Amino acid sequence: MPIVVTEDLLRAVVTKDKALSDGRTLVKKGSLKNLKATQDRSLLWGECQGSGASPYILSIDLGGDHPTIRCTCPVKPPPCKHTLGLLVAFMEQPTAFATAEAPAELMEKRSKNLERAEKKVEVAAKPRTVNKAALEKKVAAQRAALGLLETLVIDIASAGLGTLDGAKAATLVDQARQLTDAYLPGAAEALRRLASLAPRPAQGAEEERFYQLEEPGHDLPDELRYRLMTRHITRLWAMVRKGQKALDEKLAEGGGDADTDAVVEDLLGHVWDLAALKAQGAVRQNLRLFELADERYRDAVRDERVEQGFLLDLDQGGILVDRKFRPLVALDKIKEKDSYERPITIAEAGIYPGFVNRRVRWEIAALTSRPADPADFAAIHAAARPTLEAAIATYKEQIRNPLAPDDAVVLLHAADIRAAGKNLALIDQKGAALVLCDSPLARYRTTNTLAMAAGAELVNGALRQPASLLVRLFLGLEDDAIAGCAHPTIHHVPTFG
């Protein structure tokens, strides 16, 4: 069945809003000519007169999981305004496309695309045939790198965190590159995060290597910074121990718990794609989601812009995360992650291994949306955790694993929001309280905004109900107490009522 061309699809494929606007203009001006489509409407082609003597030749194949877009204009990568105009024209004026036999050249390209897609699925689905020699070579490199990491961790712990100055941190950054070269990018990133917490080095060679390596918490008082560094050391040590165990099991061709192995491999740098997730059975059909929050920030350690949306699973109630990493050097070449103002349904979605907030991923054509209605907001409130006890228990289970993230985003019912010294407190229906404050590691400050929002929702001195709040749970550095910070919610979802 061909991909249906909708506004959702246009939004998913467009990389620059101006290109889509210009494409709509081309349609209004009648610039698209000789529009044709196959009988099943899965292949479109046509022409558009550009600035040259000959028109540009356009084609769009709607027969796969995502559109294959081609144009002879010089704009790369696609889509250009001409092909976006072709999609708009087909969506708005399908009868303008005459039915015709597809050109042989396009059918040949489709056949090659289909062969590649089928091969990819086949490779992911069939039992892996292991090249023992290659595996042993790779595992040997990884074990040697983990041995290096083990030595580094022991040396740092033995010398004391106070001795980790800028010069030593710059050396750790260099050693992190060795981990990357040994197929352990996840461990390399973790080591760079530790190095980034060292005091800033003086001007010189070390400063040059250390340039712009910055992590939230690097400017904390020494006592708190050392506590944070201890957490990083603990995570690195767990990577060493669990990574070595996972590598031994890999050589022995299995023997460990599948979920645990997946999490360890993920943190050691394993890259998942949709085909691999499908092969693992980690998929959901007709997944109904409502995005509650969206955040974007620069991650200096990864040298990337992180863009992620937190989506409520309307059927199972959990909070999934739609995450995208864009290298800072290529921001103008990679499409920004979409944010969704309407409820969305994903025909088939892959769910990554992980903890409370699992990552979700899907093909472009799998998404459809619809207007929100009052029932959706009722469903959001119904999905909120009624008591703190269950949410805290789930978070505690996560942080028992030293490889797990330090935070978790949950949706909580708020019977009340009260002042608690300089902070706020969320009160659940049983009277239990969760301190709400700005984490010293937070990239956003939200407590003052929440205080104003909660005050605006008071009715006769009580918080208007129903009231739900998206909260990021975290472990305090000063006392290891669990607290929460209100997550910045996107404009279409009311925090209260």
**Domain residue spans of the chain:** 7-125, 132-267, 276-381, 384-486
Is residue 468 classed as helix, strand or coil in its secondary structure?
strand
Q: Is the pTM of this model over 0.95?
A: no
What per-residue confidence (pLDDT) applies to 255? Answer: 40
- Burial class of residue 45, CB neighbours in 10 A (0-12, 13-18, 19+): buried
Distance CA 136, CA 191 (A): 25
What per-residue confidence (pLDDT) applies to 280? Answer: 80
What per-residue confidence (pLDDT) applies to 20? Answer: 94
For domain 276-381, which CATH number applies: 3.30.70, 2.50.20, 2.40.50, 1.10.357? 2.40.50
Eight-class DSSP state of 359: B
Residue 166 CB partners (closer than 8 Å, separation 6+): 198, 199, 200, 201, 202, 206, 207, 210
Distance CA 11, CA 338 (A): 8
Residue 341 CB partners (closer than 8 Å, separation 6+): 291, 372, 490, 492
What per-residue confidence (pLDDT) applies to 157? Answer: 94
Write the Ramachandran bin of 286: left for phi over 0, alpha for psi from -120 to 50, otherwise beta: left
Residue 22 CB partners (closer than 8 Å, separation 6+): 81, 84, 85
Question: How crowded is residue 235: how many other Cβ atoms within 10 Å of its Cβ?
Answer: 22
Distance CA 288, CA 361 (A): 13
pLDDT tens-digit profile of 363-414?
988 999 999 999 999 999 999 999 999 999 999 999 999 999 999 999 999 9
What per-residue confidence (pLDDT) applies to 115? Answer: 82
The ranges of the chain with pLDDT < 50 are 205-211, 254-259, 490-497
What per-residue confidence (pLDDT) applies to 454? Answer: 79
Residue 196 — φ and ψ, nearest 5°? -70, -15
Write the CA distances from 422 to 414, 433, 484, integer angstroms. 19, 15, 14
- CA neighbours closer than 13 Å in the CB half-sphere of residue 497: 10
What per-residue confidence (pLDDT) applies to 125? Answer: 64
Write the CA distances from 491 to 22, 61, 372, 488, integer angstroms. 28, 36, 13, 9
pLDDT tens-digit profile of 26-78?
999 999 999 999 999 999 999 998 877 899 999 999 987 889 999 999 988 88
Q: Which two tokens stand for residue 414?
A: 């708020």
CA terminus-to-terminus distance, the chain: 42
